[in-house]
A = this chain, B = another copy of it.
Amino acid sequence: MPSWPVSELEQLRSVYEPLAQSVRRLIDVSIRTRADAMTVKSVIDKINGAADELASAPMRDGSFGLEHTTEGQPMVWGNVVMGVRNPVALPLDVQHEADGTVWAEFALGCAYEGPPGHVHGGVCAMLLDHILGATAHLPGKPAYTGTLTLRYLRGTRLDRPLRAHAHVDRVEGSKTFAVGHIADADGVTVEAEGVFIHPKGAR
């Protein structure tokens, strides 16, 4: 039996995912540091050196978009919520159950702060848009947000274990009605409902 080949997807991921991970750590410490002016200046020089090295290599003109390996495997790696190559993304590891429910477990660090010590309400909205939308997304059949309504029950703390959950309430033609929430150990912090639409061309 031949050894299982490392796919192009796995090979690319092994190169670029650690890059995003290193930038995520840098984002975190750059917000939290109290380093003095001389240290910060030295660090900026190092960061600029790293960015210059990347910028002098071949680069996409625009965003990452949706790319495929030469084997046809899709890569949505630039996505701001779930992109493994996007340092702004957690990235959210979205789990799909057989019954159509979708969930993710995560914690949000200081880069996602709004009110002191708390997750920005807009970050909760962003994550809920994504995870409710994920109930409607199908391979090759994207769904776009039509409407999204959020109810904030109480603050969501930074650096605590959180769980987001969504399921389909009903489907009417091209519209998927989804509901969901973010919860911590004490219960739900933000509720959401949304309508997600499959554009006609994609059906």
With contact pairs A49-B46, A115-B144 given, residues A79 and B31 touching in the complex (Cβ less than 8 Å): no
With contact pairs A47-B22, A127-B122, A129-B121 given, residues A57 and B39 touching in the complex (Cβ less than 8 Å): yes
Copies in the complex: 2
The answer to whether B43 touches A53 (Cβ under 8 A) is yes
A104 at the interface (CB under 8 A from B): no
The answer to whether B36 touches A57 (Cβ under 8 A) is yes
Docked pose: A181 CA to B34 CA in angstroms: 37
The answer to whether B32 touches A60 (Cβ under 8 A) is yes
Min CB distance A35 to B, Å, is 3
Q: How many residues of A contact B (CB 8 A)?
A: 84
A180 at the interface (CB under 8 A from B): no
A44 interface neighbour in B22, B121, B147, Cβ under 8 Å: B22
Docked pose: A16 CA to B42 CA in angstroms: 12
Near B by CB (< 8 A), chain A positions 89-109 give 109
The answer to whether A33 touches B50 (Cβ under 8 A) is no
The CB with the most chain B CB atoms within 10 A, among A16, A31, A110, is that of A31
Min CB distance A21 to B, Å, is 9
In chain B, what residue has the closest Cβ to A155? B144
The CB with the most chain B CB atoms within 10 A, among A81, A83, A110, is that of A110
A121-161, CB under 8 A of B: which get 1 and which 0? 11101111110010000000010111111111001001100
A/B interface sample: 30 pairs, CB < 8 A = A19-B40, A22-B44, A22-B51, A23-B23, A26-B47, A27-B87, A29-B59, A32-B64, A33-B54, A33-B58, A33-B59, A35-B53, A35-B57, A46-B49, A46-B53, A50-B50, A63-B117, A80-B122, A81-B120, A81-B122, A86-B111, A120-B126, A122-B127, A122-B128, A122-B129, A125-B150, A144-B155, A146-B151, A146-B152, A149-B150
Q: Give me 5 other A-B pairs in contact (C-beta within 8 A), A33-B54, A121-B133 excluded.
A: A19-B47, A23-B27, A23-B47, A30-B51, A120-B126
